[in-house]
Amino acid sequence: MRAYIVKRMLGAVPVAWGVVTLVFFIIHLTPGDPAQIMLGESASAADVAQLHRQLGLDKPILVQYVSFLTGVVTFDLGSSIYTNKSVAASIFAVYPATLSLALCSMALAIAVAIPLGAVAAARKDTAVDRGAMFASLLGVSAPSFCAGPLLILIFAVELGWFPASGRAGAESLVLPSITLGTAMAAILSRLTRSTLIETLGEDYVTAARARGASGRLVLFKHALANALLPVVTVAGLQLGGLLAGAVITETIFAWPGLGRLTVEAINARDYPLAQGCVLSISLSYLLVNIIVDILYAAIDPRIRYG
């Protein structure tokens, strides 16, 4: 297992380099002068030239690229134009908020989706199955920009059980986690059901039943363990999306996370901060994919010997 992890980590190095390179050139090849855009059309030529020097845009593109790579390795992504704070420090300051929201949302989704999907698969074509799938359909159909304000109206404004916005303790995690976790739970429950129904028809499941194994043992020990790979895939992609910044949800709940910081940097035309945020989003997705691959190997040992 250790050799497989080392192999995956080494394989991720050129991918990370490609991600960093892509982020750099996408930002730099975007039409328009970043300095002019940040300062506005009324800015003087001297101010634009000064900002060019401050951002290093007056240097050749290859020199800028090498400097950017060096900064990524040393966690020196420059300073924000408007706050004058380190870009890396600004990102690290909000990343725990995004990470806690993503993990809580994912935990909620998994806690609901896997039992719901398993029960639906075990009672296929019954009222329980139809009810579970109807509930998942509602979850998929409720976008966060509708579910979030509705939860705020009911549980924050009317009942006063939870804070409506901000990050001030565990209570403030509840509403945004439900907003994000509901849609994920709906997707994962449907996927769990479909993969379990297919797995329950396999010969080894029939053999386990023939040996007298109980229905619950067959479902959760024999079938579910072998049906988890597609679920892990989708769950990993969903988690990567959350770490990339749940922009709408973080905006609705005024959650001080990476998604909200990215929007603020773009609106303020803060070039270095926006570039750092996009890079963090991309590398977060890459890291989640590596973790998913390692989970694959843990769930199915055949993968690490493939």
pLDDT for the residue 215: 62
Structural domains in the chain plus CATH codes: 2-86 (no CATH), 88-299 (1.10.3720.10)
Give CA angle at 9 (7, 13), nearest 5°.
115
pLDDT at 37 over 60: yes
pLDDT of residue 17: 85
What is the rounded CA–CA span in Å between residue 31 and residue 59? 18
Give the mean pLDDT of 215-234: 71
248 confidence band (pLDDT: 50, 70, 90): confident
Between the CA of residue 138 and those of 116, 118, 142, 143, 201, what are the distances in Å?
14, 18, 6, 10, 28
Would you say the pTM of this structure is higher than 0.85? no
Give yes or no for residue 305 having a pLDDT over 60: no
Under a CB-based contact definition with an 8 Å cutoff, are residues 80 and 90 in contact? yes
- Of the two residues 274 and 303, the one the predictor is more confident about is 274
280-302 pLDDT, tens digit per residue, is 888 888 888 788 777 777 766 66
Please report which confidence band the pLDDT of residue 216 belongs to, taking 50, 70 and 90 as the band edges: low
Distance set, CA 83 to CA 44, 49, 52, 249 (Å): 21, 20, 18, 24
